[in-house]
Structure 1
Amino acid sequence: MKAISLNLYGKTDLRLESTELPAINDDEVLAEVVTDTMCMSTWKLAQEGGNHKKAPDDLANNPVMIGHEFSGKILQVGAKWADRFQVGQRVVVQPALPRDNPFVPGYSYRYIGGCSTAVIVPPEVIELDCLIPFEGKAYYEGSLCEPLSCVISAFDAQIHFIPRSYTPVSGIKDGGSCLLLGGTGPMGLLAIDYLLHADRKPRTLVVTGRGEAKLERARRLYPSDDVDVHFVNVSEMSIEEQKDALRQLGGGGFDDIISMVSVQPLLAMAGELLNRDGCLNQFAGPRDKNFTVPVNFYDVHYNLTRVTGNSGGTPESAAVAADLVAQGRLDVAKVVTHVLGLNAAAETTLSQPELGGGKKLVYTHKDFDRIELESVDPATPLGAILAAHDGLWSPEAEEWILANMPDIAVRD
């Protein structure tokens, strides 16, 4: 069958074209993609092309489908998986395959990536439990399970010791103090949502950001009755001023610090803000392979401080994300700020740093220009739906898009 897909041929060389999908083998699954949400990691992939760790180095002759935050439904099941999946079943994909090979969906494969109308799910994705059933209300919720799984994995990577022992426990310190550095982007907002609604919560949560508008939006979207939440605008603060203000809000320091930015002075400051038995997670992926920050090994030895990190989620965290979203415990629609058809995906991918905002949600079967949600006229049908949901995306908005926007045409 023919799929319409956005393929990467080299640095910033994205082409929307028809891709002939071969017949699936007995150990594969054919799936329709309905939504894909954009990640800055895809922008990095497009900038680096074949130099990216997860991309083939011969992209010109071996292009890949981009997009790794996608959701859809199964069209055909290979004989090997007939007792595990069914036609019509909604699924999400965890692209961070738990193996040593760096190649993953959305970065490395010819026939699987989120910016496509259909994909072939290869056997390794299924064998590694990375094709995950999803029972949420809308496809966009399924797409956002992937970034949420990265957040869940980050908090799972936090390590603390049981008091008066060296027995490690995974997760943030329950009832402790937590700091999100640069936490007003879409990943930061998902982290706030998870921290406020997961089983294990901090007592105090401090979120820093640059720009009052983004901080005010976060304040409005994430109120809490049982966690003491503070949003701090650090735009005009020096590092020393930030350190003093944050230390005061954290009650002297922090048990858990998650850095959503790769900025050396901020990470050096974070090390100084760790409590005894504190853990710093470098969540943001640096582009510079030689990115280094001094570590205080006196504190590592005597104060039991640690530095950790994670790249992507896991099958387990993706399953947890799918369950939390399906239960309605987290409202992932809060991070969506733009929607678009597949025709606008190339330009939007390459323009993400300039566009700002939150997640860009692609409806792969549709042909329409990018829409900024806060700019939609409330007198229009879509505007009325948005207004009924306090300006947020919703299953009703998705249904309207699928029913009313034109379908994307097959490319020659």
Structure 2
Amino acid sequence: MTYLAAEYQGEATLNTVEKTVPTLGEKDVLIRIEAATICGTDSHILAGHHYAKPPVVLGHEFSGYIEDVGSKVTAVKVGELVTVEPHIFCGNCKYCRIGKEHLCLEKLAFGVHLDGGMGQYTVVPERTVYKVPDGISPSVAALTENVGCCLHGIDRANIQQGDSIVILGGGFVGIVLAELGRMRGASKVVVAEPNEARRQLIEKRGFIALDPLNQNIQEEIMHMTNDLGADIVIEAAGRRDTAQQTLNLVGRGGTIMFFGVVPPEYTVSVSPNDVFKRELNIIGSAINPYAHHRSIELLKRLNLEELITHHFSLKDIHTAFEVAQKGLGLKVAIHPNRGDL
């Protein structure tokens, strides 16, 4: 059986190609993709800022219905809606053996090293598949992996009841991080975002929205915190200037978390003496270890449907990426098996 898929072919080239469904292994499942959402990583791959192994079908955030299963698959059945935790770990390196699989030295990812979800079908191992509860749409189910990344970040930030949080970047992950931070008991959640429509949505959700183009973010944060600075500052825009800005916004004993994917060629200046004197915690957050199941349990509470602002068929994949890259919406969904969009 053949199917259509959006294949990254290197050097910023993304083409729709016809592929053949591979033979199922005894512990594999065949998924008919219902929705795949565009992540910043996908855009970074096309821009040459993130590694991928071409030719490869993009998409690591996706959901779909089980079409067929291998002879020894027991966890899922044909017809069930599922989402996929898109990583394969070696199981043998130090990090896999100490419970830090996400730092695996030989990690592989669907949509980066292995064919992902921006196609009509994909084949994945049973162990990566999670059933989606009733009442959750395929588009929201596709967001499970990204929510898991946010959940891991919030775990890493170690938010305490009453903490103040500043999030730089009010895209999809910025909003989800804000929601999760509030769930953890943050007393004040501030999101800095230049896009007016996003700021309106952020305020609608009950958070404080600041405009970095027309407001002095440092002055605003110091005013809100009685000149103490925020307890937690999260960089969620993936920009060098906002990464640098975090140091001016965090208070003594506070935590800076780099969550956004700043291009690897960019650096920021950090004074070790400043980190020492203020006892700052500077941490990173990578992917979503052991968070996929918890993410599914949270989907209904996060009101994610309104964050999926655009829907496209596979034939309009280039338009979909253009919308995502220009920041014209929040989450952009691809529906490979629908041609009526």
Shift of 1:352: 2.5
3-state DSSP class of the match of 1:33?
A: strand
Equivalence map 1:171-250=2 (5 Å): 171-182=158-169, 184-196=170-182, 198=183, 200-220=184-204, 222-223=205-206, 229-237=207-215, 241-250=216-225
Evaluate the alpha carbon distance shift between residue 102 and residue 350 of structure 1 in structure 2; reply closer, same or farther with a 3 A threshold.
farther
Mapped pair 1:95 → 2:86: yes
- Per the alignment, residue 71 of structure 2 pairs with 79
1:133 is matched by which residue type in structure 2? K
- Per the alignment, residue 115 of structure 1 pairs with 118
- Per the alignment, residue 31 of structure 1 pairs with 31
- Per the alignment, residue 98 of structure 2 pairs with none
**Contact residue 255 and residue 282 of structure 2 kept, 8 A:** yes
Q: Distance in 1 between matches of 2:173 and 2:134?
A: 20
- Structure 1, unmatched stretches of 5+, are 159-170, 224-228, 370-412
Q: 2:254 aligns with which of 263, 278, 294?
A: 278
Per-residue deviation, residues 84-129 of structure 1 (Å, max 9, x unmatched)? 22222221112244332243101121xx311111111047xx2xxx
Q: Distance in 2 between matches of 1:360 and 1:317?
A: 23
Shift of 1:358: 0.9
3-state DSSP class of the match of 1:79?
A: coil
Per-residue deviation, residues 30-86 of structure 1 (Å, max 9, x unmatched)? 1111111111211111222xx843x22xx3xxx21111110112222223333x222
Q: Distance in 2 between matches of 1:212 and 1:147?
A: 23
Shift of 1:28: 1.5
3-state DSSP class of the match of 2:256?
A: strand
2:211 is matched by which residue type in structure 1? N
- Per the alignment, residue 390 of structure 1 pairs with none
Q: Distance in 2 between matches of 1:355 and 1:294?
A: 28
**Contact residue 96 and residue 313 of structure 1 kept, 8 A:** no
Q: Distance in 1 between matches of 2:70 and 2:195?
A: 51
3-state DSSP class of the match of 2:4?
A: strand
- Per the alignment, residue 69 of structure 1 pairs with 61
Per-residue deviation, residues 285-311 of structure 1 (Å, max 9, x unmatched)? 112x23221223234334321111123
Shift of 1:355: 5.2
Evaluate the alpha carbon distance shift between residue 332 and residue 211 of structure 1 in structure 2; reply closer, same or farther with a 3 A threshold.
closer
Q: Distance in 2 between matches of 1:253 and 1:150?
A: 26
**Contact residue 342 and residue 365 of structure 1 kept, 8 A:** yes
Q: Distance in 2 between matches of 1:258 and 1:11?
A: 31
- Per the alignment, residue 258 of structure 1 pairs with 234
Equivalence map 1:212-361=2 (5 Å): 212-220=196-204, 222-223=205-206, 229-237=207-215, 241-251=216-226, 252-287=228-263, 289-314=264-289, 316-325=290-299, 328-354=300-326, 356-361=328-333
3-state DSSP class of the match of 1:10?
A: coil
**Contact residue 6 and residue 346 of structure 1 kept, 8 A:** no
Q: Distance in 1 between matches of 2:77 and 2:250?
A: 49
Per-residue deviation, residues 345-387 of structure 1 (Å, max 9, x unmatched)? 1332255323521111112211145xxxxxxxxxxxxxxxxxx
Q: Distance in 2 between matches of 1:133 and 1:300?
A: 44
Evaluate the alpha carbon distance shift between residue 33 and residue 213 of structure 1 in structure 2; reply closer, same or farther with a 3 A threshold.
closer
Q: Distance in 2 between matches of 1:248 and 1:364?
A: 48
3-state DSSP class of the match of 1:244?
A: helix
Per-residue deviation, residues 211-249 of structure 1 (Å, max 9, x unmatched)? 4332122212x02xxxxx321112124xxx321211111
1:18 is matched by which residue type in structure 2? E
Evaluate the alpha carbon distance shift between residue 264 and residue 140 of structure 1 in structure 2; reply closer, same or farther with a 3 A threshold.
closer
Q: Distance in 2 between matches of 1:354 and 1:265?
A: 18
**Contact residue 74 and residue 87 of structure 1 kept, 8 A:** yes
Q: Distance in 1 between matches of 2:132 and 2:121?
A: 17
Per-residue deviation, residues 251-291 of structure 1 (Å, max 9, x unmatched)? 4211111111244443333213322321111111112x232
Q: Distance in 1 between matches of 2:324 and 2:144?
A: 20
**Contact residue 206 and residue 249 of structure 1 kept, 8 A:** no
Instruction: Look at both structures and tell me which one has the larger radius of gyration over its CA atoms.
Output: 1
Per-residue deviation, residues 111-154 of structure 1 (Å, max 9, x unmatched)? x311111111047xx2xxx3222114211111111211111111
How large is the RMSD of aligned CA atoms in angstroms?
2.0
**Contact residue 34 and residue 365 of structure 1 kept, 8 A:** yes
- Per the alignment, residue 146 of structure 1 pairs with 145
Tell me how many residue pairs correspond in the alignment: 325
